[in-house]
């Protein structure tokens, strides 16, 4: 004897299972596509291994000609140098060779961070990319932390959290003039599809009592009414996409003239990337 209620129950179960299967296959397909795009868009250039990650940079011909190095690893620490050669400054810029994606980016420094002069800035950032119709990546936006000294007292206390498309459109979230008291400091950038959070600590171990500053902003264009556009243009800010690389850059300010030294060296003790859990990335 035909039991209609059992038939309906079985039919619903089959539909439910097929729906789940389609969703799983769809997610898997997206993940495979993301991995394929990331692999096809690996950076080219000279690379160096640091903290278990490959970093890519462009080797300057003027340094090679003079047998100079401005990026190297020694005793498991990354050394980067801003060098004055042939009448101009050669600024080191590194990007993680692979796409790392949403997650937490942790930069740890030893005492050399205090060697920064008020005319030089160290940028720690996440470089975001857009993917065009031909599956090629191009730089679209950047969120990061800029470190330097205030000229007034020459103390390492200038911390700037920022988001920008390029030099024509940039939002600054100034943490104020908080002193980096310790020899060792840690700086975090946490990025997901909803928020970007910046945090700086006066130690390697993040605790509330040694927190220097923190700022959380919405990961979308012009995230709040208090955004300060500091460059002309005022183009709408682009959100940080899931295609993210870690970046490090040491640059001179435009005001630097007749500087007493011909190089500035910063040592990065460690870098760690904590990927976002899949369940968190779906929120």
Q: Which residue has the higher pLDDT, 257 or 31?
A: 257
SS3 95: strand
Q: Is the pLDDT of residue 172 over 50?
A: yes
And the tokens for 197? 């959070």
SS (H, E, C) 182-234: CCCEEEEEEECCCEEEEEEECCCCCCHHHEEEEEEEECCCCCCCCCEECCCCC
Average pLDDT over residues 132-141: 80
Cβ(167)–Cβ(231) under 8 Å?
yes
CA–CA dist 176, 174 (Å, integer): 5
Cβ(7)–Cβ(15) under 8 Å?
no
Average pLDDT over residues 126-138: 84
Share of the chain above pLDDT 90, in %: 22
Q: Which residue has the higher pLDDT, 47 or 167?
A: 47
And the tokens for 169? 């459109």
Give me the pLDDT at residue 239, please: 75
Give me the pLDDT at residue 279, please: 44
> Residue 27 — pLDDT band, cuts 50, 70, 90?
very low
CA–CA dist 113, 187 (Å, integer): 12
Give me the pLDDT at residue 38, please: 62
CB atoms within 10 A of CB 251: 17
CA–CA dist 83, 88 (Å, integer): 8
Give me the pLDDT at residue 102, please: 94
CA–CA dist 30, 140 (Å, integer): 21
Give me the pLDDT at residue 164, please: 80
Cβ(93)–Cβ(57) under 8 Å?
yes
The predicted-structure confidence for 213-249, as pLDDT tens digits, reads as follows 888 887 765 444 444 444 334 456 677 888 999 999 9
> Residue 262 — pLDDT band, cuts 50, 70, 90?
confident
User: What is the DSSP code (8-state) at residue 281?
Assistant: H
pTM comes to: 0.78
> Residue 151 — pLDDT band, cuts 50, 70, 90?
low
The predicted-structure confidence for 71-95, as pLDDT tens digits, reads as follows 999 999 999 988 888 878 888 899 9
Please state, rounded to an integer, the average pLDDT across all residues of the chain: 75
């Amino acid at each position: 004897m035909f039991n209609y209620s059992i038939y309906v129950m079985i039919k619903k179960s089959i539909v439910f299972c097929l729906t789940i299967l389609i969703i799983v296959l769809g997610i898997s397909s997206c993940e495979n596509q993301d991995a394929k795009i990331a692999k096809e868009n690996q950076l080219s250039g000279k690379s160096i291994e640091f903290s278990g990650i490959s970093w890519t940079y462009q080797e300057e011909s003027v340094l090679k000609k003079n047998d100079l190095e401005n990026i190297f690893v020694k005793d498991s620490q990354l050394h980067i140098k801003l060098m004055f050669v042939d009448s101009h400054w050669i600024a080191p810029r590194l990007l993680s060779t692979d796409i790392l994606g949403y997650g937490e980016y942790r930069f740890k420094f030893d005492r050399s961070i205090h060697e920064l002069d008020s005319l030089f800035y160290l940028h720690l950032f996440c470089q975001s990319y857009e993917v065009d119709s031909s599956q090629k990546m191009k730089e679209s936006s950047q969120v990061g932390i800029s470190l330097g000294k205030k000229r007034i007292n020459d103390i390492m206390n200038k911390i700037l959290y920022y988001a920008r498309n390029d030099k024509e459109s940039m939002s600054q979230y100034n943490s104020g003039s908080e002193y980096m008291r310790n020899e060792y400091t840690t700086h975090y950038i946490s990025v997901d599809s909803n928020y970007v959070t910046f945090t700086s600590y006066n130690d390697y171990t993040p605790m509330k009592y040694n927190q220097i500053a923190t700022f959380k902003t919405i990961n979308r264009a012009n995230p709040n009414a208090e955004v300060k556009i500091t460059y002309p243009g005022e183009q709408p800010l682009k959100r940080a996409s899931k295609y993210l690389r870690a970046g490090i850059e040491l640059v001179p300010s435009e005001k630097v003239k007749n500087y007493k030294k011909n190089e500035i060296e910063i040592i990065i003790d460690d870098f760690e990337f904590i990927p976002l859990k899949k369940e968190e990335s779906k929120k």
